[in-house]
A = this chain, B = another copy of it.
Amino acid sequence: MSRPPLAREKVLDAFESLLIDDGERAATMDATARAAGVSKGGLLYHFASKDALEQCVLERLRLLVAEDVAAILEAPEGPVAYFLRSSILESTPLDRAIVASARLAQGGNAAAGDALRDIREQWADAIRPYAPDSAALDLVMLVSDGLYFNTVLAGGSLPGPTPQGAELDALVALVERAIRL
């Protein structure tokens, strides 16, 4: 696993992109093969089944989340602010893995739902020491969930009603003040 074949990664990237941009129903083996520039047979050499393909997306997610939790704990501006700001989904590899996994979860993949609940718990564990009580932790987690929700439901690359710039600064400041009350 130290240096996976190039074609394999290309297929995985294409599958992720289809999930994110066109939804779970459009992310078929056929469409994935076409987008990755390989044949269906070629794809099936690397991923024996659709389920295997989906599991690899979740595997990628878990790896990236482990890095992210480390980054949250070391953030100079503080874990809460960093966590909230990083809840605005951009197009980092982690964000892409999250949205792709959310699509799989909605498509009926139970393991994807489990993985998403699990990483939410990891984030909560990272933030908990910085929240004075459980209501404060709930507030931070729910605002973060809300930011995700708008992107995940936005159906693709649509920009949804997500606060940005000065508005985001004000929101983060408001949450930080609220949890110190």
Contact = CB atoms under 8 A, between A and B. Distances in A.
Interface stretch (A4-12, A33-41, A57-65, A142-150): A142-150
A113 B155 contact: yes
A110 B161 CA distance: 17
A113 B23 CA distance: 12
How many copies of this chain sit in the oligomeric assembly? 2
A155 B25 contact: no
Sorted nearest first, the 9 A-B pairs with minimum C-beta distance are A142-B146, A145-B146, A178-B178, A135-B170, A149-B149, A106-B106, A23-B108, A146-B146, A113-B155
Interface in A97-128: 102-103, 105-108, 110, 113, 116-117, 120-121, 124
A163 interface: yes
A82 to B, nearest CB: 17
Interface of A: 22-26, 102-103, 105-108, 110, 113, 116-117, 120-121, 124, 133-136, 138-139, 141-150, 152-155, 158, 160-161, 163, 167, 170-171, 173-175, 177-179, 181
Contact of A171 (B139, B158, B174): B139
A170 B143 CA distance: 15
Contacts of A142: 142-143, 146-147, 171
A102 B26 contact: no
Contacts of A160: 117
Contact of A113 (B147, B154, B163): B154
Contact of A108 (B22, B108, B177, B181): B22
